[in-house]
Amino acid sequence: MKILSIQSAVAYGHVGNSAAVFPLQRIGVEVLPVYTVTFSNHTGYGAWRGPLISPDDVRDVIIGIEERGVFGEIDVVLSGYQGSDGIGDVILDAVARVKSANPDAVYACDPVMGNAKSGCFVAPAIPVLLRERVVPNADIVTPNQFELGFLTETEPTDLDSTLASVDAARAMGPSTVLVTSVERPDRPEGTIEMLAADAEGAWIVQTPHIPMKANGSGDVTAALFTAHYRATGDAASALSKTVSSVFDLLQLTYESGQRELQLVEAQEFYAHPREQFAVTRVR
Domain count, the chain: 1
What digits encode the pLDDT tens for the residues 147-202? 999 999 999 999 999 999 999 999 999 999 999 999 999 999 999 999 999 999 99
In DSSP terms, which residues pair with 120 in a beta bridge? 114
Cα–Cα dist 247/251, whole Å: 6
In-domain check, residue 256: no
User: Phi, psi (5° rounding) for residue 226?
Assistant: -60, -45
Cα–Cα dist 194/196, whole Å: 7
- pLDDT of 275 > 90? The answer is yes
In-domain check, residue 68: yes
Confirm whether pTM is higher than 0.85.
yes
Which amino acid does the sequence have at 148? Answer: L
> 76 by DSSP, 3-state: which?
strand
For the chain, state the CA radius of gyration: 17
**Residue 3 CB partners (closer than 8 Å, separation 6+):** 24, 29, 30, 31, 32, 74, 75, 76, 77, 78, 223, 226, 227
pLDDT (mean) for 61-80? 98
In-domain check, residue 274: no
Q: How far is CA 247 from the centre of its chain?
A: 15
CATH number for the domain harbouring residue 104: 3.40.1190.20
pLDDT for res 119: 64
Environment class of 169 (CB within 10 Å of its CB; exposed 0-12, middle 13-18, buried 19+): buried
In-domain check, residue 114: yes
Q: 121 falls in which pLDDT band (50, 70, 90)?
A: low
In-domain check, residue 103: yes
In-domain check, residue 276: no
In-domain check, residue 170: yes
Cα–Cα dist 244/205, whole Å: 10
Print the domain residue range for 42: 2-182+214-238
In-domain check, residue 22: yes
- pLDDT of 116 > 70? The answer is no
